[in-house]
Amino acid sequence: MSIATDVSSDNKSATIKINGRFDFSLHNDFRKSYKDVNLSAGEYNIDLSTTEYMDSSALGMLLLLKEHADSQSCTVKLSGFSDEIKEILAIASFEKLFTLA
């Protein structure tokens, strides 16, 4: 699987690491990576350090995650991204919706 999820023992944070291409082919796996995670006022960290490519469907998937996180009073942080992915996030104005680190 190109997606790995690690939830902290205190249920305050979850890290979702995306390896390779982040595109529509990961739609179901990405949704499953957070669907059953219940954080209490914590943070979802999306680790993009090994993500090689991101398309518009990935942006949509991140927005769905944001809705899920908002319903739990959680935040979403995108981290470890390359310059190319940073440019995609900037064009989409994602810095207004997510913490970029």
Buried b (16+ CB within 10 A) or exposed e, 56-68: eebeebbeebbeb
Cβ count within 10 A of residue 35 = 10
Percent of the chain residues past pLDDT 90, beyond the cut: 89
Architecture per CATH, 3-100: 2-Layer Sandwich (3.30)
pTM for the model: 0.93
Residues 6+ apart with CB under 8 A from 8: 14, 42
Answer for the pair 55, 25: CB distance below 8 angstroms, yes or no. no
**Could you report the per-residue pLDDT of 67-87, keeping only the tens digit for each?**
999 999 999 999 999 999 999
**Alpha helices (H) in 1-101, listed in sequence order:** 27-35, 56-71, 83-91
Total number of residues shown for the chain: 101
Q: Where are the domains of the chain?
A: 3-100
Give the mean pLDDT of 84-91: 96
- pLDDT the model gives residue 43: 96
Query: What is the rounded CA–CA span in Å between residue 72 and residue 5?
Result: 17
